[in-house]
Amino acid sequence: MQFIGNQFTQSTALCGNDLATFPDFPAEIRAPAGTTFGVSAFQINFGASVIKTSGDDCDMVVAMNPAALKVELPELKLGGLILVDAGTFTERNLHKAHFDTNPLEDGSLSPYRLIELDISAMTLEAVKEFGLGKKEALRCKNMWTLGLVYWMYDRDRQVTIDWLNEKFANLPDLAAANIAALNAGHAFGETAEIPDGVHGFSIGKANIAPGEYRTVTGAEALSWGLVAGAKLAGLKMTFCSYPITPASSLLHTLSNLMDYDVVTFQAEDEIAAVCTAIGASYAGSLGITSSSGPGIALKAEAMGLAISAELPLIVVNSQRAGPSTGMPTKTEQSDLHQAVFGRNADSPLVVVASRSPSDCFYVAIETIRLAVKYMTPAILLTDGYIGNAAELWLIPDFDSFESFPVEFRIDPEGYQPFLRDEKTLARPWATPGTPGLEHRIGGLEKDFDTGHISYDSANHQRMTEIRAAKINGIADDIPLQTVEEGDGKGELAVVGWGSTYGPINRAVSALRDEGKKVSHIHIRHIWPLPKNLGDLLEGFDQVLVPELNKGQLSTLLRSQYLTDAQTLSKVSGQPFKISEIEAAIRDRLEK
């Protein structure tokens, strides 16, 4: 299902539509087919207008078995279109999906438009000349269905034909069978009589700015951003990670970029991963580690070491639903407090959050810039939704990015490991191998001047203060908070961070079209916060913070600015719908 979703995405992009996708799949690798918990779904929102979310309620649901229908029907608009493979609506499958009666027969689908086709049978017919076994032949039914959907939305099949030929280069029969199924589905649409009111749709090209485009997932954009950021810093990257859902795709992508001088290391555990990254940074490389919430928890002590030793370190957290193992493939934004506060002692660091798949590229570069300039660990927050989702991306010209080359300390004259730059308060980065700068550092408290071990009480006060001051000072080096949508003053500020960007933005736009005095503020720099944010929030009567958690950013805003930020919480493992945010805004404005 994910494969054909990606194919539809590609062909839709080539049609000139704007789009956003939302892959939603189970944690199990081969979850039992036909069960509701085994449903693997792929949602795409596309159109001739600018797309900022993967969509609210669907106009069409394609259900390949009863379980898929059961799970996805609540997402369908009344009057929406359902395409089902009627061949799978057997007693056994209905039972597995917990249907007491067959929904194709009991009238429960009457509020919708239903196309029921025995796709299984038609697929078997279409591929019979290739002599595949029944099981293999039935696997082609996704392609048959894709062919029909391509016809309905007038997509070009060629991109998929090319992909199949490439994927099955060594199995030409399988390639040919899948292409035959695709063509058969398409031909069915052209020739068969489909129920009333169902026809081919024509969707115009979106008004998209000129330039070179691609589709990109968050995991790809983040990987490339890390490579780009290391290059701008003039550093070799050492990426150390332990497999965890949904963060592993970063490790996979970067492991294939050795030709970009990327060293990747699959560690024995989360702690080893962060410690190896710290060792790499200590030795003059850019140490990066990546995980998801439970793994980040294991890294906390080592992040404290990097804070104490004042070494650059990038920690990527692809957030997922928790606590504990939670729901590995479902998205959440519930690690904000973990990122900002989640270590022993006063241990400040930098936290930056990406808002969309393509935004990961820019956020990765920004995170690296701050980490190396201020000799500090920096956490990049993304989430499972951003990582897997795809969107169109106007590919930037890398030559237009400003570099920030690291200058390692090489002059032994007056060197002390913790003597700080007066402006940034960063200590010098002196790496092993440099003659005359031999020094010893670690997690014990250090003397302010000499860097030697110190248990002096006044010194610890001073060191704690300066570690905090260094991170707080970064507020002078990050962009001021802007308003994404709307005015700098008004009745209600909707403040978001991370992947809620799309639905908040659409909701605010829609209500502004109605004349509501509502604005959208989206925070990228979570810690330190932009220095004008407090003043900005004061310009609004109310502050509403939609978050996929129980109110973590709003707690932060309340503590920092004594503002009465209100939470709109959602923790269902699914992104916000535009309508949910719209409703919450209306509710607040009516009060």
Partner 1 sequence: MNVVTPLNKLTPADFATDQEVRWCPGCGDYAILKAMQRTLADIGATKENTVFVSGIGCAARFPYYMATYGFHTIHGRAPAVGTGIKLANPDLDVWVITGDGDALSIGGNHLLHVLRRNVNLQVLLFNNETYGLTKGQYSPTSRAGTRSPSTPMGSIENPVSAVALALGAGARFVARSVDTMQKHLPVIFKRAHDHNGTSFVEIFQNCIVYNDEVFAEFTAKDVADDAEIILEHGQPLIFGKQKNQGLRVKPGFIELETVIIGEDGVTEEDILVHDETNRALAGMLALLEPPSMPVAIGVLYCDPRPSYDDGVKDHMDEALKHSSGHDINALLRRGHTWTITD
Nearer to partner 1, 221 or 378 (CB): 221
d(CA 59, CA 47): 12
Amino acid at 399: D
Beta carbon of residue 460, minimum distance to partner 1 (angstroms, whole number): 17
Nearest distance in Å: CB 93, partner 1:
36
Whether residue 358 contacts residue 221, with contact meaning beta carbons closer than 8 Å, is answered with: yes
Nearer to partner 1, 208 or 419 (CB): 208
Angle ∠(520,521,525) on CA atoms, nearest 5: 155
Least CB distance from residue 445 to partner 1, whole Å?
A: 12
CA distances from 208 to 16, 48, 148, 217, 351 (A): 8, 9, 27, 19, 32
Choice between 259 and 422, CB closer to partner 1: 259
CB-nearer residue toward partner 1: 176 or 263: 263
The nearer residue to partner 1, 14 or 114, going by C-beta atoms, is 14
Measured from the CB atom, is 1 or 257 closer to partner 1?
257
CA dihedral 24, 42, 58, 142 (to 10 degrees): -140
Our CB check for partner 1 shows the closer of 257 and 468 to be: 257
Q: Phi, psi at residue 353, to the nearest 5°? A: -125, 140
Cβ closest to partner 1, residue 94 vs residue 286: 286
**Using only C-alpha atoms, what is the Rg of the chain?**
26
> Which CB, 258 or 583, lies closer to partner 1?
258
Lookup: tokens for 147:
């062919």
Nearer residue to partner 1 within complex by CB, 454 or 500: 454
CB of 21 to partner 1, least distance (A): 15
User: Can you tell me the distance from the alpha carbon of 491 to that of 90, in angstroms, rounded to the nearest whole number?
Assistant: 55
3-state SS string for 483-528: CCECCCCEEEEEEEEHHHHHHHHHHHHHHHHCCCCEEEEEECEEEC
Q: How far from 141 is each of 178, 187, 283, CA to CA, in Å?
A: 8, 14, 53
Query: Shortest gap between Cβ of 98 and partner 1 (angstroms)?
Result: 40
CB of 441 to partner 1, least distance (A): 6
CB of 323 to partner 1, least distance (A): 24
Beta carbon nearer to partner 1, 337 or 452 = 452
Report whether 429 contacts 419 (CB < 8 A): no
List Cβ neighbours of 406 (8 Å cut-off, separation of 6 or more).
233, 234, 235, 372, 429
CB of 262 to partner 1, least distance (A): 9
The residue (of 159 and 349) whose beta carbon lies closer to partner 1 is: 159
For residues 190 and 212, which CB has a smaller minimum distance to partner 1 in the complex?
Answer: 212
- Cα atoms in the Cβ-side hemisphere of radius 13 Å centred on 95: 3
According to DSSP, the β-strands at 18-24 and 41-47 are antiparallel
User: How far apart are CB 301 and partner 1 at their closest, in Å?
Assistant: 6
The whole-angstrom distance between residue 196's C-alpha and the CA centroid of its chain comes to 40
Alpha-carbon gap, residue 300 to 343, rounded angstroms: 6
Inter-residue contact 520 to 505 (CB < 8 Å): yes
Rounded to a whole number of angstroms, the minimum distance from the CB of residue 157 to partner 1 is: 15
Name all contacts of 488-491 with Cβ < 8 Å and 24+ positions apart: 488/519, 488/536, 488/539, 489/539, 489/540, 490/517, 490/518, 490/519, 490/539, 490/540, 490/541, 491/516, 491/517, 491/518, 491/540, 491/541, 491/542, 491/589
Q: Which residue has the tokens 């038609």?
A: 122
State the sign of the Cα–Cα–Cα–Cα dihedral 35, 36, 41, 45: positive
Residue 556 tokens, joined: 């932060």
Smallest gap from residue 305 Cβ to partner 1 (A): 5
Quote the least distance from Cβ 444 to partner 1, whole Å.
7
The DSSP output letter for 575 is: P
Residue 216: CB minimum distance to partner 1, A: 9
